[in-house]
Amino acid sequence: MRSLDEYLHDAEQAHGHLCAGQVLGVRLAMLGLKELEIDDPRGKDRKRLVTFVEIDRCVTDAVAVVTGCRLGKRALKFRDWGKVAATFVDVSTGKAIRIAARESSKSLARQMHPEIEDKNQQQMLAYREISDHDLFALQWVKVDLPPEEFPGYKGERVVCDACGEGINFRREVRRDEKVLCRSCAGERYYSAL
């Protein structure tokens, strides 16, 4: 595995700036990989890992950089829960660990560096120094990953009976003998003008 500074350099490039979220995200992902004993997630181990992230913020960009898991590769799964947490699944063994940033990390940063007024600077420094244990809560978990969730899944593509658009990865809804996309089935996040 590479060093914190090396990953932070890459994270800064990918994310556009260096921030406390990047430090937290890089450390969170490095810890997940260490626990799963995955050394080279962007090289020889690149097919071993699926990562679930629970927030769409700075942290998530850093997790993606360290793990090499990306949305477009189906190896990054997003659950919009607003929590600074991620679950790392080793698909070769089925082992999985969920790691969440402790709620106390912000106040700990304040205690450690009261001399730094800027919150982001304060946390950036403290999040380098705080131990894994004080920064994160770890939990070994079981994640059910059906075949259609795996990055390399090759499945049948179906067409929505209502709108005619194609649907991959078994995301269709079957109702009253009809095949519907999620939008036509009522999960629409937009409305027509």
Q: For the chain, give the longest Cα–Cα distance.
A: 66
Q: In angstroms, give the least distance from the CB of 109 to Zn ion.
A: 16
Q: In angstroms, give the least distance from the CB of 75 to Zn ion.
A: 22
Of 20 and 49, nearer to Zn ion (C-beta) is 20
The tokens for 90 are 């080793």
Q: In angstroms, give the least distance from the CB of 10 to Zn ion.
A: 14
Of 18 and 145, nearer to Zn ion (C-beta) is 18
Neighbours of 65 (CB within 10 A): 24
Where on the chain is the footprint of Zn ion (CB under 5 A)?
19, 21, 58, 160, 162-163, 181, 184
From the list 81, 84, 49, 66, the residue with the least C-alpha distance to 1 is: 66
The tokens for 40 are 């080279």
Of 19 and 85, nearer to Zn ion (C-beta) is 19
Of 96 and 181, nearer to Zn ion (C-beta) is 181
Q: In angstroms, give the least distance from the CB of 19 to Zn ion.
A: 3
Of 58 and 64, nearer to Zn ion (C-beta) is 58
Q: Is 116 exposed, middle or buried (0-12, 13-18, 19+ CB in 10 A)?
A: middle
Q: In angstroms, give the least distance from the CB of 111 to Zn ion.
A: 23
Q: How far apart are CA 52 and CA 98, in angstroms?
A: 9
Dihedral over Cα of 61, 69, 39, 92: its sign: positive
From the list 193, 168, 173, 192, the residue with the least C-alpha distance to 184 is: 173
